[in-house]
């Protein structure tokens, strides 16, 4: 697999489309950090890291509206790919849907959202947009 982050986002998208409650994803440290950000920002209901085997898995509970069954995540979009990396400085950080969505960045200070990177004045690689 050449792009594990794209695989992570695709598994989430497919589970949302199929109206699954829980999705299993192979774990890595970067995926764990992205999952923590999605939980903190309220895009997923819950998560659990399971250490089974050498790699482990991430169990993600998806968040749906209880009345009309609409998911909290409208779109997951991969920005930086292995063939075309997208780096930005702290002055050029993207605003997703004029601040309604989030951009997840991999910076020298760890994985964070665009808002946190703006506050710390640090740039990095734009991994994905979530809204």
Q: What is the CATH number of the domain that holds 31?
A: 3.30.1370.30
- Return phi, psi of residue 40, to 5°: -65, -35
SS3 content of the chain, % helix, strand, coil (to 5): 30, 30, 35
- Residues of the chain with confidence (pLDDT) below 70: none
Question: Which residue is listed with tokens 């982050």?
Answer: 5
DSSP codes of every residue in 10-48: HHHHHHHHTT-SEEEEE--HHHHHHHHHHHHTTSEEEEE
Q: What is the CATH number of the domain that holds 120?
A: 3.30.1490.10
**Could you tell me the two tokens for 129?**
């947009």
State the Cα–Cα distance between residues 127 and 87, nearest whole angstrom.
9
Q: What residues are paired with 48 via a beta bridge?
A: 59
Give the structural domain span for 49.
Answer: 4-62
Average pLDDT of the chain to the nearest whole number: 96
Q: Are residues 55 and 102 in the same domain?
A: no
CA 44 to chain centre: 10
Considering the entire predicted model, what is its pTM? 0.94
Q: Are residues 41 and 89 in the same domain?
A: no
State the Cα–Cα distance between residues 27 and 42, nearest whole angstrom.
20
Residues making up the chain, counted from first to last: 131
Residue 68 lies in a domain: no
Residue 71 lies in a domain: no
Indicate the residue among 36, 62, 88 that finishes a domain: 62
pLDDT of residue 53: 83
pLDDT digits (tens, 9 = 90+) for 79-94: 999 999 999 999 999 9
């Amino acid at each position: 697999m050449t792009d594990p982050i794209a695989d992570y986002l695709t598994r989430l998208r497919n589970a949302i489309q199929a109206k699954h409650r829980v999705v299993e994803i192979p774990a890595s440290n970067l995926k764990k950090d992205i999952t923590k950000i999605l939980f903190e920002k309220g895009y997923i209901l819950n998560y659990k890291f399971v250490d089974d085997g050498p790699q482990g898995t991430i169990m993600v509970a998806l968040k749906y509206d209880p009345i009309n069954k609409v998911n909290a995540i409208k779109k997951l979009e991969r920005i930086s790919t292995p063939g075309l990396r997208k780096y930005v400085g702290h002055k050029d950080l993207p605003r997703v849907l004029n601040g309604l969505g989030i951009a997840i960045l991999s910076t020298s200070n760890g994985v964070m959202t665009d808002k946190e990177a703006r506050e710390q004045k640090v740039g990095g690689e734009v991994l994905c947009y979530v809204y």
